[in-house]
């Protein structure tokens, strides 16, 4: 006979961690909002983080955006060639990049690079009692650690995505003119004529959500490291996986949301 299955225990175990995560992040978010409204505000820490998150991620973002744009132009071009659809490539590439590929790929790259960095840095600070020291010296880890990182992501990600949008379309143009024999000037004009502000806003609007999806789990998993160095690695993995999943699943709902908003406008 097989072991009796303890269903309630199984369910509790299965859902305990996600629920803890949701509750924990909600509390962290509440404290963050609360402490954002009180003095002091550490501007120099924010600038440090903007540099670390933004400037340091730029090469990665540029390469990702360029290759995405190039590959898309190639695939659309070769795929549509049979139907004589090549002239639509600029429009297709542009709107796909603006709406989806720019924001999502940039955010995923940032989740990997910045999310891992934040979670492991904060986790190590917990293990070496630096977070305790922040509190023991009468200052707030939320103000010193969480707020600069969340704000940096909120400021930097939209900018990076805007740059990625430009570079991605440039990659499309390069492939369009070299591989698909589309005139570069024609390609450029088509992009400008066909893509509109709505495309841009639909993608750009998501980046603020994605920034939160990256920063909050990374801070949360870093701060909740408990017993020693081994957990820092686990926290890092959890931060990256959680941020990536939130971006990918959140993207669907946000896309729907922005379609609804567009219809309104």
Burial 14-29 (b: 16+ CB within 10 A, else e): eeeeeeebeebbeebb
* Residue 26 vs 133, nearer CB to another protein: 133
Closest distance of CB 129 from another protein, Å: 4
Closest contact distance (angstroms) between CB of 117 and another protein is: 13
Q: Is 133 in the site for another protein (CB under 8 A)?
A: yes
Total number of residues that touch another protein (CB under 8 A): 11
- Asked if 255 interacts with another protein (CB under 8 A), we say no
For residue 43, state whether it binds another protein (rule: CB under 8 A): no
Helices 197-223 and 147-178, axial angle in degrees (round to 10): 140
- Would you say 180 and 89 are in contact if contact means Cβ atoms under 8 Å apart? yes
By the rule CB under 8 A, 129 interacts with another protein? yes
Check residue 135 for interaction with another protein (CB under 8 A): yes
Give the range of 17-25, 98-106, 130-138, 168-176 binding another protein by CB under 8 A. Answer: 130-138
Cβ closer to another protein: 164 or 219?
219
Q: Which of 6, 13, 14, 128 binds another protein (CB under 8 A)?
A: 128
Q: Which of 23, 55, 63, 139 binds another protein (CB under 8 A)?
A: 139
Based on the shown chain and the rule CB under 8 A, indicate whether residue 132 belongs to the binding site for another protein: yes
Residue nearer to another protein on the CB measure, 89 or 147 = 147
Catalog residues that contact another protein under the rule CB under 8 A. 128-130, 132-133, 135-140
């Amino acid at each position: 006979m097989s072991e009796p299955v303890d269903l309630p225990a199984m369910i509790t175990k299965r859902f305990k961690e996600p629920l803890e995560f949701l509750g924990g992040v909600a509390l962290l978010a509440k404290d963050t909002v609360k402490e954002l409204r009180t003095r002091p505000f550490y501007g120099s820490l924010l600038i440090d983080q903007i540099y670390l998150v933004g400037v340091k991620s730029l090469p990665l973002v540029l390469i990702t955006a360029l290759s995405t744009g190039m590959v898309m132009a190639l695939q659309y071009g070769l795929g549509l060639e049979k139907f004589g659809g090549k002239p639509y490539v600029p429009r297709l590439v542009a709107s796909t990049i603006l709406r989806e590929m720019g924001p999502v790929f940039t955010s995923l790259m940032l989740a990997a690079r910045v999310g891992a960095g934040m979670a492991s840095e904060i986790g190590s600070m917990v293990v070496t009692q630096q977070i305790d020291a922040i509190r023991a010296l009468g200052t707030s880890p939320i103000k010193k650690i969480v707020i600069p990182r969340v704000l940096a992501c909120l400021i930097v990600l939209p900018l990076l995505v805007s740059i990625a949008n430009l570079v991605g379309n440039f990659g499309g143009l390069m492939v369009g003119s070299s591989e698909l024999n589309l005139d570069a000037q024609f390609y450029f004009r088509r992009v400008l004529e066909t893509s509109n502000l709505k495309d841009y806003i639909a993608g750009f609007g998501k980046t603020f959500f994605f920034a939160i999806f990256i920063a909050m789990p990374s801070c949360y998993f870093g701060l909740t490291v408990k017993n020693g160095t081994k957990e820092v690695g686990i926290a890092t993995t959890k931060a990256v996986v959680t941020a990536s999943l939130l971006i990918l699943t959140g993207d669907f709902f946000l896309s729907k949301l922005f379609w609804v908003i567009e219809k309104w406008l």
